[in-house]
Chains A and B, each alone.
Chain A
Amino acid sequence: MRNVSWVYLIGAVLLLVAPTVFYPVLLMKVLCFALFACAFNLLLGYVGLLSFGHAAFLGSAAYTTGLAMTRLSITPELGIALGVVMAAVLGLIVGALAIRRQGIYFAMITLALAQMVYFFCLQAPFTGGEDGLQGVPRGKLLGVLSLENDLVMYYFVVVVFVLGFWVIQRTIHSPFGQVLQAIRENEARALSLGYHVDRYKLLAFVLSAALAGLAGATKTLVLGFATLTDVHWATSGEVVLMTLVGGVGTVVGPVIGALVIVVLQNELADKVGPWVTVIMGLIFIACVLAFRRGIVGEMLARLPVNKGPRD
């Protein structure tokens, strides 16, 4: 337990001093995707559900917040709240449909429904089509504190991230989270113990969607735009990759994974151009074949306390 507190303390210090060393916008992007990956990991790592359509929640919130900020000129926290509500409602609809099937079908259904959201965003008259929404203002927090300064925005994003991360932590370690993990281990047994498995799954799905929405809404404020990339299936694939690289079912894994992938994409984009997709694909293949525990999973497995019969 003491080790865990140390990890968080070091993490907190790093978060506070990071913008003095690195470019704040890149850091904010990493944090948004880290939150996105954590939300996704809540489903895959703790309920055993592979959603291949999580971009729909990130993207719908991104568009909603973008629209709210440009059209209604409201404060950013309200804009984000609207985005989160949008993602949660969408999560309720998609989740209710998808949990009717298991395993591989669940993945295909979420992917297909997310593609529907993509087409909606492509065709709707108010989403800007191929261009997306541009020039979204960051506004003034609570009507007082302007977020236009990158450093101020950075610390706001840190607060959002920590809040989201904390919610996920609390969920995993709550009695509710324990039931979710029981469902992951053996759904039939959880059902026979009298748990309404479908309700638990749906609630977890909505929670995950809402948190993915929180990440998407915040990202729109950071970058000032929401585009079709946010709802594209490639983004759904990216969040799977981040979680896989960091370690599925580990608490910090998705954060590390998001850091690795976002920084890698940022570095590679200028140098190798279109090969980025190929490299992402190769990482995917390598992770699935040889590295299924991910970075954090491998590290945990090597800790002396975890050595022993438990794999």
Chain B
Amino acid sequence: MNEIFGIPAQALLGQLLLGLVNGSFYAILSLGLAVIFGLLNIVNFAHGALYMMGAYVAWLGLELFGLNYWWALLLAPLIIGLFGVLIERALLRWLYKLDHLYGLLLTFGVALVIEGTYRYFFGVSGQPYPVPDLLAGATDIGFMVLPNYRAWVVVASLAVCLATWLMIERTRLGATLRAATENPKLVQAFGINVPLLVTVTYGFGVALAAFAGVLAAPIIQVNPLMGSNLIIVVFAVVVIGGMGSILGSIFTGLALGVIEGLTKVFYPEASATVVFVIMALVLLVRPAGLFGREK
């Protein structure tokens, strides 16, 4: 079992794991996009920039205050979530009565402002962020050597995704959220503060992005452009999965990450574009997306 299809098993499994790691990021980010889109009808172009900000909270926290990884994992979503609340209150709420396209354009502007500011202060080169001691090293699990941190990223992301799913599908707050997604006016008439719900939802979606940013910090170099490179792939993931289903987003994200990882092994030239090719194929066969429903 040293070779699979003529590829060394360690390399194949390594890429598979890397694919799962990337897939976890796709899953968390597309989940956040789907939650925000469901209630606000806004495709949050700033999602990538906020993910990048999450990673910078971790890096700056460590550089300036010696803040360790675990605190960063807790604080970054809170700080960036609050920042998201600010964006929603100050900017987005003026757009709810307009065409959805304006939301995309406004958040694109927000992304430019954030990215430009970070580029001014931090340049374009990446900053290394150390893997926390607890998760350093690797474990030999028989058929492969498993880097602990990468395994943690996959487990932590899946846990957060599933917790989000449970919260939306199984709790009273989630039921309210789903009702407000279906018919905000009616829910408001029942005495529920929908504007507050909208603000909290945006803050939550953004906090998910920041969480992913901290998870990513030790794997990829922290840099101001890390978000914009990722967000376009995540958009393709969202088109493939459709934004109608939470579990659908999680599954699509992971699956595409794995496919991308495998492409890196078998045909590396296409690894950057394989997600887009799959998107094109899905559009031909099932235009509404794998889990989507046409509105």
Contact = CB atoms under 8 A, between A and B. Distances in A.
Interface string B65-101: 0000000000000000000000000010011001011
Contact of B109 (A98, A103, A281): A281
Interface stretch (A104-112, A159-167, A210-218, A300-308): A104-112
A275 B279 contact: no
Given A277-B116, A278-B117, A288 B239 contact: no
B283 A109 contact: yes
Contacts of B120: 273-275, 278
Contacts of B284: 97, 100
Contact of A112 (B37, B95, B98, B276): B276
A109 B238 CA distance: 10
A284 B108 contact: yes
Given A108-B239, A115-B232, A274-B119, A97 B280 contact: yes
Contacts of A115: 232-233, 236, 276
Interface residues of B, number: 43
B273 interface: yes
Interface-centre pick from A240, A280, A281 (highest chain B CB count, 10 A): A281
A283 B95 CA distance: 16
B276 A285 contact: no
B104 A280 contact: no
Contacts of B228: 233
A280 B91 CA distance: 16
A244 B105 CA distance: 10
B276 to A, nearest CB: 4
Contacts of B288: 101
B112 interface: yes
A22 to B, nearest CB: 28
A277 B119 contact: yes
A52 B119 CA distance: 23
A109 B273 contact: no
A233 B236 CA distance: 14
Contacts of A276: 116
Nearest to A113: B276
Given A103-B100, A105-B239, A113-B280, A288 B106 contact: yes
Given A104-B100, A274-B120, A288 B105 contact: yes
A289 B272 contact: no
A244 B106 CA distance: 11
A211 B106 CA distance: 27
For the residues of B in contact with A, the DSSP-based class is: helix
Contacts, number: 120
A237 interface: yes
Contact of A111 (B105, B235, B280): B235
B110 A104 contact: no
Main SS of the interface on chain A? helix
B111 A108 contact: no
A116 interface: yes
B283 A288 contact: no
B106 A285 contact: yes
Contacts of B91: 285, 289
Contact of B95 (A98, A113, A123, A288): A288
B101 A277 contact: no
A126 interface: no
Interface in A246-272: none
Contacts of A188: none
A103 B98 CA distance: 13
A109 B279 contact: yes
A101 B287 contact: yes
- Which 7 A-B pairs have CB atoms at the shortest separation, nearest pair first? A284-B109, A281-B112, A277-B116, A281-B113, A278-B116, A112-B236, A100-B287
Given A104-B101, A274-B116, A284-B105, 15 more contacts: A100-B287, A107-B104, A115-B276, A116-B276, A119-B273, A237-B108, A237-B112, A277-B116, A278-B112, A279-B116, A280-B109, A281-B116, A282-B113, A283-B109, A289-B94
Interface of A: 50, 52, 97-98, 100-101, 103-105, 107-109, 111-113, 115-116, 119-120, 123, 233, 237, 240, 244, 273-285, 287-289, 292
Interface of B: 37, 43, 91, 94-95, 98, 100-102, 104-106, 108-117, 119-120, 228, 232-233, 235-236, 238-239, 269, 272-273, 275-277, 279-280, 283-284, 287-288
